[in-house]
Structure 1
Amino acid sequence: MTAPRARFHFISDCLDAKTTIVKVLTVQLEKEDTIFQFPTEYQLKEHHRKLFDTSVVRNVTKSMKTRGNFRNVWITLINELKDNYLDEEGNVCFKGLYLDGAQACVDPNPTAPYIPKSETFENKSLHSMVKDMILDKFSGKNQNAKIFLELFVQECNRLRIGNPHFPQVLKVFLEGPALDWFLAFLKTHTLSYPWEFWQNSFLDTFSEIGWDEINYAYTFRYISGPMLDYALKKRNLLIDADPELTLNSQINFIVLGLPAQIRSRLSKRDLNSIDILMSHVRQLEGLINNKNTSAIEHKRQLQFSNRSVSEPCPHCEKIGFPNRFHSEHLCRNRTNSKQKFKNDKIKMVNNLEVQDSISSSDESKKRITTPLIKLRVLVDNCPVIALYDSGANISVINYNILKKLNLKKNISGAKKINTVSGFTETLGSIEVTLKIFNISKNWRLFVIKSESFQDDILLGLDVIKEFRLCQNENLKITQKCEENENNLGNEMNINTVITNVNSNNKNEASLECILDKHKKIFAENKYDVGIVTDYEATIKLTKNKYIARKPYKCSLKDKDEINTQVKSLLKSGIIEHSSSPYASPVTLVFKKDEGKKSRLCIDYSELNKIIVPECHPFPIIDDLLLLARDCLFFTKLDINSAFWSVPIREKDKQKTAFITHNGHWQWSRLPFGLKSASSIFQRILSDVISRNELNAFAINYIDDILIFSQNLPEHLSHIDKTLTAIQNAGFKLNFKKCSFAKSSVVYLGHEIKGNTISPLNDNLIAIKNYPVPQNQKNVRQLLGKINFYLKYIPNASIILEPFHNLLRKNVKFEWSRKCVESFNTIKKYLSTEPILNIFDPNLPIYIFTDASKEGVGAILKQPQKDNSLKPVFFFSKKLTPSQKNKRAIFLECLAIKESILYWQYYLMGHKFTIFSDHKPLENFNIKKVRTLNY
């Protein structure tokens, strides 16, 4: 009797983030239509050992290393295989179970992922159906992800494509960053995941995150090409950005993006509908094209006619060969000659903003994508805002600012300014006293009167060269000193000084005067440190033990860097030569600000073991953030090389000695790395703030000072008082790290704005991009990042339980599906940019509690000015094994108890209301129950 044959369907799937396994999905007997599907728990290789040991299957599985591959293999069922998959009567039976029927899996290419046929279109594959879909590709750049998905699902439903096939079809319509997201997502997941899972991940990644989409839609303008294409695309962008935008508003925005010569020919009264607008745009299409074509043809005729003219080249004075045009811009001697203006009255200005004010061409209407760099200068001792533009040859001043400052001077010598799009007349030029940073000179500026030119002054190459201005990699403007030193105190940028001082010029001038009054407090470099007069640091040891260690080995490059820094420290008086019996080694570590290994660190690990700790307390970060309630303006100050400002007691200097490859030194100021250094500095700066009665509006955490106020005039007064106190104490500030009078500020890893706090976006990105942990050390590192922002995550203790289980003793590390779900949940919460309101004891307090078999949780909310309840705190706690066996009513009561204990310091002396979804708790206090021992 011939042995029966059966077709087995194999698929490669993922076991975890790295491992790919092969499963057996179905089996079908020869000459039979029914296909039988193996249960999920019996699809793994371990249940089909004898099948996988056959040479045919073994060779097939070797070729299925990529996830998502399919193979259909015919196997002759002989001996043991027949007993495994057939019963005595020849029916399909596996381990005593009769299998259920399944849909056929047809794979046209058995070694690559296939797209199965649609359930409703029997003879039409998804490949051919995709070609019938009417949908633009999605790249994730200035596109509405939600609308794209809605259109995608509509098209799939129109062609009757099954829901399980949506992820396969989605890939066809993705490109750029969106396609990269799909491929990355597929590495950790499979196509068999439900569509809802793919959809949620897609929206979390590409959903709207701000005003960029609306800004792009409203500012999108015609540049080149068919104007009808522009009008259609502009309308599509407007609808995506704001579906409720009225028809008239759509027409207005489309018309405003057209060139001026086209707008002038469109009558607003005639544009009653989109169809009429499109018709007019199509009729005026040739106006732009004919104009450009005629200009090009005219240029060609001029060039052709000039070929017969024997004019010498202005650079090399050669006439050229017959019938060959010797163009000036092609002359080889052009680069060696000085550029000469044929008309001395014509000057070049390349600034985009000035071009836009003097020309209506489409090239001048391009959106400025790079940030404008601005700085504060003085014109006849009056502060004004100047725009830094290294692309302009001359400097200009706005006529409106001359009137505003009452600068009664004669404007003379009207001249033309030449831009890339044409010429414009200036009102003339004016001589003023211009002061930029430390240099003051008399300078002549050209005067422009334009509504579009909003800045006070434009600084061109003439001023940039004369005043020795330069731009660093952070887009900040500095002034080169004669000694070629980097002057930190003079680095001014519009974003660091007057970002929010925009109420009126009086407030701007007040801040400028305050900073100018205390300009000596700003350090010129990191070695320019002050010295505290009334304090000194003491270093006490638990036992008299000399710590002497050998210097660390380092590269020649690191030796040069260490030697350079030691010389600078010695020159500044921060260190001195030593003959101390103490010696700690030196090393270099990477410094983020400078982007290289430049931070000089002393390894005081052995000395720290015998140092008596300083017991001054550090403020609790949450308590500091609560002080900023109802404040609208913030200033952050940073002490320059803070610890180096504190002198060390004379007899304790020898304990700080360190050794390098070519010398022995000791600190005369408090060094970084000592066990007690942070506590000593916290005590000193806190005492300075308290002694000058600044606690009502200023706080500090080590060297970071935060000033907060409810209005701008009050804030300016607070800044003045704080700077005075710091200057009198002997400190100096790092201007680069200071920010003044801002409506929002980043402080201690949190962003404070109004009455809300939110986590720092850079830290959230580090968590969202954190790779999948491979061992317990990686899990601890991940928890360290998450725990800092634990208060922003509801039910955090319950969500993170799988992570904590991995850290238990004698537990094998295994990244399970629960860990994956917890990891994705944390990323999802943090990717939504969580925001918490600052607690206000004067507002009503509402606590919402809940409990489950895994843990208890609660949310503290308070009503805001718009009468909406906003979250202030989150709380969660895991249950012990004994607590998990309690009844629901006890767990709900436990949630109330634990939340009150957790927030007791905020609730004491205040009325609060508790909300629970467990009805039996209402009569819980009148029932006789046993004592609750939790």
Structure 2
Amino acid sequence: MPNTRSEGAMKEEDQTPTDPVQLMMAMMKEMKEEAKKREDQLMRQLQEQAQDFAAALQTNRGNAGGSTKSKKMDVPVLKCPEDINLADFRDWQQRFADYTEVQKIMEECTLSGRQSLLRSGLDPAWTKLWSTGILEIDDRKDDINDIIKKILHYIREHRNPLLDRKEFLERNQHAGESIDVYYSALKSIDESCGYDVNPTCKVCDDACGHGDELQQERLRDRLICGLKDQAIQQKVLAIPFKDLTLKKALEVCRVEAASKETQASLNKSERQVNRLKERSSYKKGKIDNNPLSKSAQKADERCSNCGRKKHQKPDQCWARDKDCNNCGKTGHLKHMCRSEPKKEVNRMTIGQVKTSDDLVKITAKIGNADHQEVEWLPDTGAECDVITADCLKKVGTKVKDLRKDKAELCGPDQGRLKSLGKVTATLEREGMKYKTELHVLEKGTGPILSKAGCIALGLIPTGWPHVVNKLSLSSPDEGNGVDMLLKSQSAASIREQLFQEFPEVFPPDDEVLPLKPMKGPPMKIELLPGTSPIRRYRCNTIPLHWQDKVKAHLETMVQKQIIERVPQGEAPEWLFSMVVVPKAGTDEPRVTVDFSPLNPFVKRPMYPCRVPAEEVAQIPPGMTHFTVLDGRHGYWQVLLDKPSSKIMTFNTPWGMFRYLRNAMGLISAGDEFNRRGDDAIAGIPNVKKIVEDIIIYDKDEDTHLQRVKEVIQRCDEHGITLGRRKSTIAEPSVTWCGYRISKDGYTANPGLVDALTKFPVPKNRTDVRSFCGLVQQFEALSADLTGLLEPIRALLPARSAFVWEGLQQQAFEKTIAELTSPRVLTQFRPGANLRLETDASQRFGLGFALYQEEGKVWKILRVGSRTLAPAETRYSVTEIELQGVVWATKKLKFYLRGKAFEVIVDHKPIVSIINHKALDEIEHPGSSG
């Protein structure tokens, strides 16, 4: 917070000074304000004259040239000093030079006219620096080029190059961005980083030009590290490092990117033809609406016995000696049988078994044998998991230990296969588990993993192969990318297509497959030295009407591999109690575990969590497209290491369980989850995240959809799942973290407003506490909240009688009316002027309103209020007013620290105090001496 003696311009209201010195100071202040107004008016007139002059020249030029007319151009405007960097300045400088060249103004204007033209292309903050002499501009002799050089010098002096270097190191290639555009952006940022262009060479001890080589190395390294296409990155990294120059890297990137685009264009028509040639088994029996495929099927006559292409002679059909598995007759196969199909029970198909180089090593516990690594053949055409007798013996399980297998197995040719029995097995891969029944065959080529097993162990996506309307991340020129497919779709249609494109990110709500873990090593719970194990043997009673639901919920958590049962006979060192509470607004149970006895002994990693009000205020005004993504099972996606899993053991009426994943209620749970989630989406602009809630915002639809795809793809790469129900895609207004956000600003969540309007009249102190808690969520939207609630808060102390009278009813109704009236807060702009108004009262407490200047209008940026502490109620009026200014300034340090602002008070005695003392002296009177 800057010293208000030099930055806070104090205003007094409704009082005229009588002291001669004060009267003289007031007159000088008025004269200064009048001079400022005249200066601003003169500046506007000069700008208008320059624009009129340029327009007149344009008109004359058009009349002289007959029918030829030039298009009118607007003067490029340089950003305010707080937002500018060297790259933006160079861009503006080039556009301004182009503007003056196209308009042919420079040679036809006087020096003052050229200066006026330049002023019209500067943000008002720059014109103030000009007029006050900070830029050291001489209006009598400095021409445009001299002034631009002084502006550049000012930017270099006041901008820390570390900001540009940080941006350079974090700059990655965006989705849909070409190699040349990406390289140009890197080079532009690098030139703003303040590196010495020609440093003294350590070898030559001379400015030999090796600085250019250092720049090329920086650009080469950042170019390669930030490539979005991993295939192109791999091609570049394959080049020997001694030969890997910037020129070589750019050449390879351009060639690879061009070849991918060419290949996509060439294969575009082939994809349609290939679809007609091959038809996967999962589409059998479905209606094909493609007219080309229907005509192809009619033209392609098939053998009625085997289903293959029609033979020249009947005896050439290979099915003539085969028995049908449907009717039992000889001469045709089951899928060509004309008889009525038989009802099949426990009949499962084993896909085509082939020797493959794509065998997957999976840790398996088969029967009573120990965990062993076994190579499996993933087969998405198989309906069951199979192992041969020879392989079963190798892992240590005997055939005599098998259970009877009643399932009817058949091979890819529909021929029956003999099963020796079945055995229970648990397969593990990369933290995911899959429990299954293995069918044991006498002969075969090796263990086969079914489609269900492939999905459970993460070998194929959940929705495989039913991916409809696939969204491509390739170039927009291909015609099937996100901007071609989604631009013309409604928000609901885009939402559904994204769900289909990323089934692992948006799993169905009723899915009970193992939950995909987040990227990263298992989480470790670190305990303080000397911590002894804690055991809570008491099992909390669960209401009878909840017991079935709670038990089913625990079983679902086991299936999703969130928890596991403690093996029989194992005595846990740590044990905590399960607590079941009702979900908010419903009668459904919520299962939790009380880890409060453990939390004091856990070392917390302390990762910061952002404040919703501050994050919402940072969203730039004018955004028209918003997307909200809601995390699903967030904490449960973080794996625990085995020692930590044993600590997270809890007791239930149905036995003991322990967490395999992170859990709510643990003091370090949120820190670890927030850190991993923030790392996943780091570096993507126009994205904000608080815990599980993500918001994306842009001004145009195409950029927004590309950014949404980039965020979702990051979630896919890092193993983050999102909920379908609460996700909103490309809407003009959204609800996020308790606020309703649109292009005009933000206001209260409509759900909270509806709950407030329906709140019944309090009947006891508990109702009063609930009402005050609900109202407290609106504290950022009303400065009068504390005063309105005062009659109701008076009923909270236990020593006072609860009497609801007309005064309380009136306060109740006024509070609801105040908070339900439409009030939109504007978003924060760092370069705008700010005004702080404070007020204080011994009865109603402290309040403030922070305003932001937008054009000639002051809009509300933030409001707030609070009650007085018992000691503060004994302060004098002057002390309370000072406390209001100090408290408001500290409360708003996010907006005010390091920035000049205006303070408005209605109590004259504190004006001289604040003008002659710093805030820390006011808050701590004895600290100065």
TM-score (norm 2): 0.43
Report the TM-score, using the length of structure 1 for normalisation: 0.43
Structure scoring higher RCO (CA < 8 A, sep ≥ 6) equals 2
